[in-house]
Every structure is written in structure tokens, then in C-alpha cells.
Amino acid sequence: MRPLVEEMIGGPAWLADLAMIAVQIGAIFAVIMASAIVLVYAERKVSAFMQMRIGPNRVGPWGILQTTADMLKLLSKEDIVPRAAERRVWALAPVLLFVPAVAAYAVLPLDAGLVFADLNIGIFYFVAISSQATLPFLMAGWASNNKYALLGGMRTVAQMISYEIPLVFSLLGVVMLTGSMKMSDIVGAQRDFWFILIQPAAFLVYVIAATAETNRTPFDLVEAESEIIAGPFTEYSGMRWSLFFLAEYANLVAVSAIAATVFLGGWQGPWLPGWLWFTAKVVMMIYVFMWFRWTFPRIRVDQLMSFGWKGLLPLALVNVVVTGIGIYIAQQWRG
């Protein structure tokens, strides 16, 4: 595509580069918007089928225009700014949450050579970026000046930082096996077999920690509508509220894509084109996350903490050691 753009613009090389970047940024945003629209609908339909309900079926055939209708409704909703809130911090929180959600997409390899920025610290960049989402949650919770929101905000921070450690450790084994943090290298190393086969424990830890990082059930104490209304989102309405949800779905896709890339072989697969394989794996991971939601009940905050620190973290550490020993023995074996 690059030569085509160069020909169309005809200017200096940097202009063509800039145009390419602009096109790619546009593509990333298109993917995020499209996936959010599809996922809101899919989430409702999947939960409906799991509970033997019909789900949305009024707007358009099989209710497929439901999300569009919701979006229009949310756009026209009044933006209520609570009097007691710390206005600037409150207003900025949903906007800031959107940035790490989008930035995580930069390192996802969609197909061979199809990646926005193939950084040599790829996986580390993802971990670093995704952990930035903690701050906007705390901002929203604190600035709302609402007790439910503050509780929710504090819980988010505690949960996200607790589950970030196992998440980071679970990806470490794969980095050891690959000898690189570059996403394209990690995918390339899985040509013969997927890393889920030799890192099953790491995959398990990653999926659990990712569920917690995206604040989904059974780790949705953050919102926990039956006890703290909607946590940090309590005082938000209309478009600001939907920005939170947009970021949430963007994050869901991002963590699923990382799982697909790191453990499930990324875009590699027989017969079909790479991007189709990648999409299929991501969709499967998203389905697993939705399945979790209707399988496990929400856990208590003390259970959440002890499970993260006393269950997942030791498991992830053991996995790193076992991987290390395994690689060392394999190396000695080969001489």
C-alpha cells in the first residue's frame, strides 16, 4: 500500500510516511468503533442465549440495529455534571481512559507484517500501557465526590494493581522461550506449535488476570451494581458514560488479541489468510470472557485479593522457574 500512497501524494518521503500513519490510525479507530458496536450486541445476545432468553430483537432484523439505536440515544442524553464533583478531574477521566485503551492496539500484529509499530519491546509496551488505565478510574472515583464512586475507584485500583503482577509474570515465560519481546518474533516462534501447549499454566494465569484487568465478572466488584450502584461510573451520564464503555470494550478486544498472539499462535494457521485466523482466535477469546461472565458468581473483595496474591502470583512464579529449568535442560541436552 505504501507505494500507492507515495504515488498519490507525490511529495517528499516523510509526507507519504505521515499519510501512511494517518491511514493506519484511522484503521485502528475504525476497528475499535466497529468492534464496540458488534460486541455490545454480541454481549447481549450471548448472555441471552446462555440464560435461554431471546435478547434484543426489536430494532432491525434479529435486533442487530440495537447498538446503533442505543448510541443515538446516548448521544442525545443530558450530560449531568453533579454539583459536588471536582469538575475538571471528573470531566477528564473518561477521556483519559480512552488513551491507553487505544494505544494498546499499536503493537497487535494482525497479519504477517501488518502491525502499526513492531516495537522491539512490544509485549512490555503493552503491559506498561495497559496499566495506565488505573489512574482514570481513580480520578473518576475520587472526583465524583460520591461514596459509591470512591469505593468503586479504590477497589479498581487495588484490583488492577494486584492482578497486573501475575499478568506480567505469566507473559515472562513466553519471552524466555522466544528470547525477544517483539510481537512478530513471538508469533514467528509459534510456527510449529502454539505456546499454550508448553505454557498452559501461564495461559491460565493470563486469562484470569486479564479478566480482572478488564474488570469483568467474576472480578466486576468495581461496578458491582447490586452493592455500589455502578462504582466510579455512578455520577456519569450520556456520552461520558458511554466513553467508559467504549474503552472497556476496546480493552477487552486488546487483551483477547494479546492472548491470541502470545499463546494461540497469532495470525498463524493453515489454509486461511492470516488476518482471518487472528480474528477467529480473538473472537474465540472474547467468547470465553463472555462465557466466564455467566458461569462464575462475583467474588468478595477479600477473596479477590488473597486469590491474586496467594494463588495466582505463586503459580506464575513457579511457571517462570519451571520454564527456566525446562529451557536449561533442553539446552544441555542439545549440547
Q: Which of residues 300-329 bind another protein (CB under 8 A)?
A: 301-302, 305-306, 309-310, 313-314, 317, 320-321, 324-325, 327-328
Residues in region 147-166 near another protein by CB under 8 A: 147-148, 150, 154, 157-158, 161-162, 164-165
Confirm or reject binding of residue 51 to another protein (CB under 8 A): no
**Minimal CA–CA distance to 176: which of 166, 189, 191, 192?**
189
Q: Which is nearer to another protein, 46 or 222 (CB)?
A: 222
CB of 222 to another protein, least distance (A): 13
Q: Which is nearer to another protein, 58 or 83 (CB)?
A: 83
Confirm or reject binding of residue 239 to another protein (CB under 8 A): yes
d(CA 64, CA 78): 25
Confirm or reject binding of residue 145 to another protein (CB under 8 A): yes
Q: Which is nearer to another protein, 83 or 191 (CB)?
A: 83
What are the CB-based long-range contacts (under 8 Å, 24+) for 220-228?
Answer: 220/298, 221/155, 221/159, 221/298, 221/299, 221/300, 221/301, 221/304, 222/137, 222/152, 222/155, 222/156, 222/159, 223/152, 224/152, 224/298, 228/148, 228/151, 228/152
Confirm or reject binding of residue 54 to another protein (CB under 8 A): no
Confirm or reject binding of residue 64 to another protein (CB under 8 A): no
Confirm or reject binding of residue 84 to another protein (CB under 8 A): yes
CA distances from 300 to 54, 160, 304 (A): 31, 15, 6
d(CA 142, CA 220): 18
Residues in region 4-23 near another protein by CB under 8 A: 17, 21
Confirm or reject binding of residue 137 to another protein (CB under 8 A): no
